[in-house]
A = this chain, B = another copy of it.
Amino acid sequence: MTERSVVHATFAIDRIYEAKPARVFKAFSDPDIRDRWFVRPHNWPVAEYSYDFRVGGQEKGRFSPNGTMIVLNETTYWDIVPDARIIFAYAMYIDGKRISVSVATVEFKPAPNGTRLIYTEQGAFLDGYDIPAQREEGCRDLYERLAEELARMPADA
Protein backbone atom coordinates (compact mmCIF):
# COMPACT_ATOMS: atom_id res chain seq x y z
CA MET A 1 0.00 0.00 0.00
CA THR A 2 1.18 3.52 -0.81
CA GLU A 3 2.34 5.57 2.17
CA ARG A 4 -0.22 8.38 2.37
CA SER A 5 1.01 11.90 3.04
CA VAL A 6 -0.10 15.45 2.35
CA VAL A 7 2.03 18.58 2.17
CA HIS A 8 -0.01 21.79 2.19
CA ALA A 9 1.59 24.84 0.65
CA THR A 10 0.72 28.25 -0.75
CA PHE A 11 2.76 30.22 -3.23
CA ALA A 12 2.16 33.40 -5.19
CA ILE A 13 3.48 34.77 -8.48
CA ASP A 14 3.12 38.53 -8.68
CA ARG A 15 4.15 40.28 -11.86
CA ILE A 16 3.44 43.18 -14.19
CA TYR A 17 2.41 42.77 -17.83
CA GLU A 18 2.50 45.70 -20.21
CA ALA A 19 -1.09 45.19 -21.38
CA LYS A 20 -4.43 46.33 -20.06
CA PRO A 21 -6.38 43.97 -17.74
CA ALA A 22 -8.94 43.22 -20.48
CA ARG A 23 -6.18 42.01 -22.80
CA VAL A 24 -4.49 39.87 -20.13
CA PHE A 25 -7.86 38.41 -19.12
CA LYS A 26 -8.58 37.60 -22.76
CA ALA A 27 -5.46 35.44 -22.84
CA PHE A 28 -7.38 33.17 -20.40
CA SER A 29 -10.92 33.48 -21.75
CA ASP A 30 -10.12 33.07 -25.47
CA PRO A 31 -9.43 29.37 -26.14
CA ASP A 32 -7.20 30.01 -29.16
CA ILE A 33 -4.97 32.47 -27.35
CA ARG A 34 -4.81 30.35 -24.20
CA ASP A 35 -3.96 27.32 -26.26
CA ARG A 36 -0.74 28.96 -27.42
CA TRP A 37 0.74 29.94 -24.04
CA PHE A 38 -0.94 27.51 -21.62
CA VAL A 39 -1.80 24.29 -23.42
CA ARG A 40 0.91 23.89 -26.07
CA PRO A 41 3.84 26.16 -25.11
CA HIS A 42 6.31 23.26 -25.17
CA ASN A 43 4.72 21.27 -28.00
CA TRP A 44 4.08 18.25 -25.79
CA PRO A 45 1.90 15.67 -27.56
CA VAL A 46 -1.70 16.41 -26.48
CA ALA A 47 -3.81 13.24 -26.28
CA GLU A 48 -7.02 14.91 -25.15
CA TYR A 49 -8.08 18.46 -24.46
CA SER A 50 -11.31 20.27 -23.62
CA TYR A 51 -11.95 23.75 -22.26
CA ASP A 52 -15.25 25.16 -21.00
CA PHE A 53 -14.47 28.56 -19.49
CA ARG A 54 -17.51 29.44 -17.38
CA VAL A 55 -18.43 29.09 -13.70
CA GLY A 56 -19.00 25.36 -13.19
CA GLY A 57 -17.26 24.56 -16.48
CA GLN A 58 -14.45 22.05 -16.71
CA GLU A 59 -11.13 21.75 -18.43
CA LYS A 60 -9.32 18.51 -19.07
CA GLY A 61 -5.93 18.01 -20.64
CA ARG A 62 -3.97 14.83 -21.15
CA PHE A 63 -0.37 15.28 -22.27
CA SER A 64 2.77 13.26 -22.63
CA PRO A 65 5.89 15.40 -22.18
CA ASN A 66 8.27 12.59 -23.16
CA GLY A 67 5.99 10.22 -25.09
CA THR A 68 5.67 7.71 -22.23
CA MET A 69 4.67 9.48 -18.98
CA ILE A 70 1.02 10.62 -19.02
CA VAL A 71 0.16 13.92 -17.31
CA LEU A 72 -3.51 14.65 -16.71
CA ASN A 73 -4.92 18.00 -15.56
CA GLU A 74 -8.57 18.27 -14.44
CA THR A 75 -9.87 21.74 -13.66
CA THR A 76 -13.19 23.21 -12.55
CA TYR A 77 -13.88 26.95 -12.73
CA TRP A 78 -15.48 28.32 -9.56
CA ASP A 79 -15.40 32.10 -9.96
CA ILE A 80 -15.01 34.37 -12.97
CA VAL A 81 -15.15 38.17 -12.74
CA PRO A 82 -14.42 39.52 -16.25
CA ASP A 83 -11.12 41.42 -16.49
CA ALA A 84 -10.64 41.08 -12.71
CA ARG A 85 -10.53 37.53 -11.28
CA ILE A 86 -10.57 33.81 -12.02
CA ILE A 87 -10.68 31.07 -9.38
CA PHE A 88 -10.38 27.40 -10.27
CA ALA A 89 -9.70 24.11 -8.54
CA TYR A 90 -7.55 21.53 -10.24
CA ALA A 91 -6.02 18.13 -9.75
CA MET A 92 -2.91 16.79 -11.45
CA TYR A 93 -2.25 13.12 -12.16
CA ILE A 94 0.87 11.35 -13.38
CA ASP A 95 0.38 7.90 -14.87
CA GLY A 96 -3.02 7.66 -13.16
CA LYS A 97 -1.79 8.70 -9.70
CA ARG A 98 -3.36 11.81 -8.24
CA ILE A 99 -0.44 14.00 -7.19
CA SER A 100 -2.15 17.22 -6.10
CA VAL A 101 -5.40 19.08 -5.57
CA SER A 102 -5.24 22.89 -5.54
CA VAL A 103 -7.33 26.00 -5.57
CA ALA A 104 -5.83 28.81 -7.66
CA THR A 105 -6.76 32.49 -7.80
CA VAL A 106 -5.73 34.79 -10.65
CA GLU A 107 -6.22 38.48 -9.91
CA PHE A 108 -5.90 41.16 -12.61
CA LYS A 109 -5.34 44.66 -11.24
CA PRO A 110 -4.84 47.84 -13.26
CA ALA A 111 -1.25 49.09 -12.93
CA PRO A 112 0.40 52.26 -14.29
CA ASN A 113 2.06 50.36 -17.14
CA GLY A 114 -0.60 47.72 -17.70
CA THR A 115 -1.69 44.93 -15.38
CA ARG A 116 -0.48 43.52 -12.11
CA LEU A 117 -1.30 39.80 -12.20
CA ILE A 118 -1.22 37.85 -8.94
CA TYR A 119 -1.48 34.07 -9.19
CA THR A 120 -1.97 32.39 -5.82
CA GLU A 121 -2.02 28.62 -5.58
CA GLN A 122 -3.09 26.85 -2.39
CA GLY A 123 -2.33 23.19 -2.84
CA ALA A 124 -2.40 19.79 -1.20
CA PHE A 125 0.54 17.80 -2.60
CA LEU A 126 -0.04 14.09 -2.24
CA ASP A 127 1.92 11.01 -1.27
CA GLY A 128 5.34 12.42 -2.14
CA TYR A 129 4.65 12.55 -5.90
CA ASP A 130 5.12 16.29 -6.27
CA ILE A 131 6.60 19.11 -4.24
CA PRO A 132 5.43 22.71 -4.01
CA ALA A 133 8.75 24.18 -5.26
CA GLN A 134 8.48 22.16 -8.46
CA ARG A 135 4.87 23.25 -9.02
CA GLU A 136 5.81 26.88 -8.43
CA GLU A 137 8.64 26.58 -10.96
CA GLY A 138 6.24 25.12 -13.53
CA CYS A 139 3.76 27.95 -12.97
CA ARG A 140 6.45 30.63 -13.22
CA ASP A 141 7.42 29.18 -16.56
CA LEU A 142 3.80 29.40 -17.77
CA TYR A 143 3.51 33.03 -16.70
CA GLU A 144 6.69 33.72 -18.65
CA ARG A 145 5.04 32.11 -21.69
CA LEU A 146 2.08 34.45 -21.12
CA ALA A 147 4.45 37.43 -21.31
CA GLU A 148 5.70 36.17 -24.68
CA GLU A 149 2.13 35.66 -25.89
CA LEU A 150 1.13 39.20 -24.88
CA ALA A 151 4.15 40.56 -26.75
CA ARG A 152 2.88 38.76 -29.88
CA MET A 153 -0.75 39.90 -29.48
CA PRO A 154 -1.91 43.20 -31.01
CA ALA A 155 -1.20 46.07 -28.63
CA ASP A 156 -3.89 47.90 -26.64
CA ALA A 157 -5.80 50.36 -28.79
Contacts of A1-51 to chain B: CB distance below 8 A: 4, 6, 8, 10
CA distance A98 to B55 in the complex (A): 11
CA distance A85 to B126 in the complex (A): 10
Which chain B residue has the least Cβ–Cβ distance from A109?
A: B4
B126–A79 CB distance below 8 A: yes
CA distance A101 to B55 in the complex (A): 12
Residues of chain B lying within 8 A (CB to CB) of residue A89: 76, 78, 89, 101, 103
A101–B101 CB distance below 8 A: no
CA distance A13 to B41 in the complex (A): 40
A8–B101 CB distance below 8 A: no
The segment from A65-73, A117-125, A146-154 found at the interface with B is A117-125
B79–A8 CB distance below 8 A: no
Question: A77-117: contact bitstring with B at CB < 8 Å (1 yes, 0 no)?
Answer: 01101001101010100000010011101010000000000
Residues of chain B lying within 8 A (CB to CB) of residue A103: 89, 101-103, 122-124
Known: A4-B85, A85-B4. A10 touches B101 (CB 8 A): no
Interface of A toward B, CB cutoff 8 Å: 4, 6, 8, 10, 76, 78-79, 81, 84-85, 87, 89, 91, 98, 101-103, 105, 107, 120, 122-124, 126
